[in-house]
Amino acid sequence: MQKLALLKGEVKHYDWGGVSFIPSLLQIENPQMKPFAEYWMGVHPGARCLMQLSNGGEVLLRDFIDEHREALLGKVVLQSFKEMPYLLKVLDVKDMLSIQVHPSKEQAAVDFENETARGIALNAPDRNYKDKNHKPELMVALSPFYLLHGFKPEEKLLATLQAVEELHVFIPVFKKDGYKGLYKMAMELPQEEVNELLQPLISRIIPLYQQDKLKKDAEDFWAARAAQTFVQPDTIDRGIFSIYFFNLVHLKKGEAIFQDAGVPHAYLEGYNVEIMASSDNVLRGGLTSKHIDTVELLKHTKCAATHPQIIKNQNGQKEKHYPAPVADFQLNGYELEPGDEIMIHPSTAEILLLINGRAALHNGDTAVELKPGNIAAIAFSGTEIKIHAKEGALLFRATVPAGQSKDQ
């Protein structure tokens, strides 16, 4: 049975994606300047991820695993999850993504069944729950990366509300009813009142944005960009409130951050590698033209202070660990010099992803090469893989904590 093979993920052409980063990784021409937003690798139903067979053919990765689950996943992961439990992605965020929250695993299962019982089709635009799983996420920045992440601590949030005249109306609500009352008010305000509050603000900051007088570490920069990006007649996007309510985080290249169930967040700009539980459950809170369900959003949002825990870049270390407090996935990075060799011993199905350079993977008589154009490979349980860097290489390894044995 084949235990090592090249993978071909699926590109998602969402409007917010960039036009060059992912095509460069995949060595794909893009003369029409089509947006390449995400590259998916895994067994999620939304990922048409293909595995290259030794005879030259291709098969869907999920179909190949289905045929030999225990042998390929290992007993521990099979018993715990029944399938590969994670989804690995590369993202190119050119335009801002929607403010979003993901449900807990327990609540996702309940709400999935409720929507199904109500007859809402899985592909319906007003469907909130696409599966029964949670969607905790870990991302590693491949460039300077900006995002919103959880509510600001109380003192910082009050200072922001006091500093921005148009947000003064929220101060007594926040003091009386806390984060929950603040966010409920922002999400339930009639659209006419949203427009009345935000119009003076965006009229003031858009000229500054257009004159390059705003910096990316200021909420005004992203609020002005949002106002110009998400334009609908007589409708100012209420997600602009959240830009001021949430922590604005700037990750440097190589830094990482984990986002658990209930933590509101939005990616604003940059490239990253992202690993998550295999799910597509998203509840949106603004900066989008897609469906927003305020009741479901508020039910799942963690309305509490969030202190961003940035996982710093581990300079000078060949192997980098990106800890995440979940059982569904684990991500390691390897920054290799030409000629470097490492051994890994997968005890479950693992995805190896090359971001730059070249690396050869060897398992007995089987060898595959990761290089621009062929950036991903799958290794299964019970293998021993030697990774040899043919050039300086940045490589990521996606696995499951319960399925990982000690490497050398």
How far apart, in whole angstroms, are the C-alpha atoms of residue 46 and residue 199?
39
Higher pLDDT residue, 293 or 60? 60
Residue 29 in marked binding region: no
pLDDT band at 407, cuts 50/70/90?
very low
What is the percent of the chain where pLDDT is above 70?
98
Identify the three-state secondary structure at position 154.
helix
Identify the three-state secondary structure at position 179.
helix
pLDDT band at 405, cuts 50/70/90?
very low
Closest CA to 332 of 155, 80, 346: 346
- What's the pLDDT score for residue 211? 97
In Å, how far are 23, 41, 171, 322 from 375, measured between CA atoms?
A: 12, 11, 50, 20
- What's the pLDDT score for residue 380? 96
How far apart, in whole angstroms, are the C-alpha atoms of residue 46 and residue 44?
5
Closest CA to 51 of 380, 319, 341: 380
Q: Could you confirm whether domain 320-403 is CATH 2.60.120.10?
A: yes
In the predicted model, is pLDDT for residue 385 greater than 50? yes
Q: What is the pLDDT of residues 107-127, one digit of tens each?
A: 999 999 999 999 999 989 999
Beta strands across the sheet bearing 376-379: 58-60, 50-52, 4-8, 376-379, 350-356, 393-399, 330-336, 319-322
Closest CA to 342 of 372, 317, 313: 317
Alpha helices in 211-273 (DSSP H): 219-229, 239-245
In the predicted model, is pLDDT for residue 374 greater than 90? yes
pLDDT band at 402, cuts 50/70/90?
low
Q: Give the containing element (helix H, strand E) for 193.
A: helix 191-210
What is the percent of the chain where pLDDT is above 90?
90
Closest CA to 242 of 308, 288, 296: 288
Q: What is the pLDDT of residues 252-267, one digit of tens each?
A: 999 999 999 999 999 9
Half-sphere CA count of 210, side-chain side, radius 13 A: 8
Please identify which of the residues 225, 284, 358, 397 carries the catalytic annotation: 284
In the predicted model, is pLDDT for residue 295 greater than 90? no
Identify the three-state secondary structure at position 373.
coil
In the predicted model, is pLDDT for residue 24 greater than 60? yes
Of 284-298, 368-382, 393-407, give the lowest mean pLDDT range.
Answer: 393-407
Tell me if residue 284 is catalytic: yes
Identify the three-state secondary structure at position 91.
strand
Residue 137 in marked binding region: yes
Contact yes or no for 292/242 (Cβ under 8 A): no
Paired strand residues for 59: 51
If you average pLDDT over every residue of the chain, what do you get?
Answer: 95
Residue 68 in marked binding region: no
| Phi, psi angles (nearest 5°) of residue 247 | -65, 130
Q: What is the pLDDT of residues 218-261, one digit of tens each?
A: 999 999 999 999 988 889 999 999 999 999 999 999 999 999 99
Contacts of residue 64, Cβ cutoff 8 Å, sequence gap at least 6:
51, 72
What is the distance between the terminal CA atoms of the chain, rounded to a whole angstrom? 25
In the chain, domain spans: 145-300, 320-403
Residue 102 in marked binding region: yes
Q: Please state the rounded mean pLDDT for residues 26-40.
A: 97
Identify the three-state secondary structure at position 6.
strand
Q: Please state the rounded mean pLDDT for residues 197-206.
A: 97
In the predicted model, is pLDDT for residue 408 greater than 70? no
